[in-house]
């Protein structure tokens, strides 16, 4: 009789526990998840009421293929974060990057819908060309980039993005231009200095962790032939045999950005020189040497908005994504 009672209780207990076991799979199998199916599942689970379904997708112009694809917002933001920030960065930095990428995508999608079709982006809301909008990697490109680490990094980014998807940066009710760059000079730049347009929330702030980056300073050494050939292409009148004609007055901002520099008696912006000589930033010094010119370059990128290395540093010091974003985008709010 006792054995029958025990058997009956065991059956009842198994029926109670079975749903729990189904909902909580063995964590050791998590790295084998097929993330393409996870993206679609999450999209369905987070679907909005009828009439808002179109907001769940982003059309992306793949510039290399000259092709347009349409993906869920989750897939897009995961691909954008993967393209723009190292997957090894702290989760809070990845969350901050996700919100910045999502904000830019929503803003550009809104602008596209209001202004009609963009001739440069046929049928798309946003380009994957980071020099135009912001980067985006498809799942296949992420697999190629990460190789054997794909499952680990895909999960890291997917987890971070899923926790903040839908949050965006706004300023006085308007979607922000959520600019970001790799490494600042220790201080981010004012938008006015770099782009000639004042944007209240894109003001210079300290980013002290950046000076600790192993890539904080880079050096580019050019032969006199290389320097003079590029200078001539800019329209500068330089004499390859007289290096006293090469460089003149230089003006810089408080953040080391070169505002103007004379080459061959002609004045150029730091951005023009950066682009022409393939420098990592417009914050540099230039020195004439016996064999040519050496550029010493500080930071990486345009230096406006969030420093990605600085965000990772802040996260590792204990800051969360909200603190990171509010530090780099002064006065901006995080809204749904």
* Tens digit of each residue's pLDDT (9 = 90 or more) over 281-311: 999 999 999 999 999 999 999 999 999 999 9
Identify whether the C-beta of residue 321 lies closer than 8 Å to the C-beta of residue 99: yes
Contacts of 298 (CB under 8 A, 6+ apart): 185, 216, 217, 256, 281, 283, 284
pLDDT the model gives residue 143: 98
* 8 Å CB contact between 277 and 295: yes
Residue with tokens 């190629």: 144
Angle separating helix axes 91-115 and 73-84, nearest 10 degrees: 120
pLDDT in tens, 216-267: 999 999 999 999 999 999 999 999 999 999 999 999 999 999 999 999 999 9
**Mean pLDDT rounded to a whole number for the chain:** 85
How many Å apart are CA 331 and CA 171, to the nearest integer? 7
Decide: 309 and 97 in contact? Cβ < 8 Å. no
- Proportion of the chain above pLDDT 90, given as a percent: 75
By CB neighbour count within 10 A (0-12 exposed, 13-18 middle, 19+ buried), where does 218 fall? middle
Task: Report the side by side order of strands in the sheet with 247-252.
Answer: 247-252, 258-263, 266-268
Residues 6+ apart with CB under 8 A from 266: 234, 235, 236, 237
Which two structure tokens, joined as six digits, stand for 311? 């965000």
Q: What share of the chain is helix, strand, coil (3-state, %, to 5)?
A: 45, 20, 35
The residue assigned the tokens 């749904």 is: 336
Q: What is the pLDDT of residue 242?
A: 95
CA–CA separation, 188 vs 204, rounded Å? 5
Q: How many CB atoms lie within 10 A of CB 114?
A: 7
Res 51: pLDDT: 34
49-103 pLDDT tens trace: 333 333 489 999 998 988 999 999 999 999 999 999 999 999 999 999 999 999 9
Mean pLDDT in residue range 191-195:
95
pLDDT at 120: 65
Q: What is the DSSP string of 130-193?
A: TTTS-----HHHHHHHHGGGHHHHHHHHHHHHHHHTT-EEEETTEE----EESB-SSBPBPHHH
Q: How confident is the model at residue 158 (pLDDT cuts 50, 70, 90)?
A: very high
pLDDT bracket for residue 152 (50, 70, 90):
very high
Nearest CA among 99, 105, 98, 107 for reference residue 60? 105
pLDDT of residue 56: 80
23-36 mean pLDDT: 28
The total number of residues shown for the chain amounts to 336
Least confident of 62-66, 170-174, 318-322: 62-66
- C-alpha 186/C-alpha 210 separation (Å) is 6
Which has the closest alpha carbon to 299: 191, 192, 208, 201? 208
DSSP for 195-243, written as a single string: HSS--TTS---B-GGGGGSTTSEEEEEEEHHHHHHHHHHTT----TT-G
Residue 2 has pLDDT above 70, yes or no: no
pLDDT of residue 111: 85
pLDDT value, residue 117 = 56
Annotated domain spans of the chain = 56-180+320-335, 217-298
Please tell me the pTM assigned to this model: 0.81
């Amino acid at each position: 009789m006792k054995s029958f009672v025990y058997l009956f209780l065991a059956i009842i207990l198994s029926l109670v526990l079975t749903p729990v076991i189904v909902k909580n799979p063995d964590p050791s199998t998590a790295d084998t998840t097929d993330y393409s199916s996870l993206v679609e599942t999450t999209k369905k689970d987070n679907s909005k009421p009828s009439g808002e379904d179109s907001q769940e997708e982003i059309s992306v112009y793949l510039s290399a293929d000259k092709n347009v694809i349409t993906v869920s917002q989750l897939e897009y933001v995961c691909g954008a974060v993967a393209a723009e920030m190292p997957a090894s960065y702290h989760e809070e930095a990845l969350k901050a990057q996700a919100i910045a990428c999502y904000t830019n995508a929503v803003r550009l999608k809104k602008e596209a819908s209001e202004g009609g079709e963009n001739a440069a982006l046929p049928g798309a809301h946003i380009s994957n060309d980071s020099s135009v909008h912001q980067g985006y990697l498809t799942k296949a490109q992420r697999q190629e980039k990460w190789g054997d680490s794909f499952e680990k990094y895909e999960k890291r980014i997917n987890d971070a993005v899923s926790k903040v998807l839908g949050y965006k940066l706004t300023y006085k009710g308007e979607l922000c231009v959520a600019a970001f760059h790799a490494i600042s000079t220790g201080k981010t730049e004012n938008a006015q200095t770099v782009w000639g347009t004042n944007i209240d929330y894109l003001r210079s702030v300290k980013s002290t962790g950046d000076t600790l980056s192993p890539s904080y300073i880079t050096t580019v050494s050019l032969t006199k032939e290389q320097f003079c050939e590029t200078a001539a292409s800019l329209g500068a009148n330089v004499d390859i045999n007289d290096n006293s004609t090469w460089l003149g007055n230089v003006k810089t901002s408080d953040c080391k950005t070169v505002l103007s520099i004379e080459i061959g008696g002609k004045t150029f912006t730091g951005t023009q020189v950066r682009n022409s000589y393939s420098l990592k930033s417009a914050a540099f010094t230039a020195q004439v040497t016996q064999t040519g010119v050496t550029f010493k370059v500080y930071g990486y990128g345009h230096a406006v908005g969030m420093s990605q290395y600085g965000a990772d540093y802040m996260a590792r010091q204990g800051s969360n994504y909200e603190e990171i974003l509010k530090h780099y985008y002064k006065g901006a709010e995080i809204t749904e």
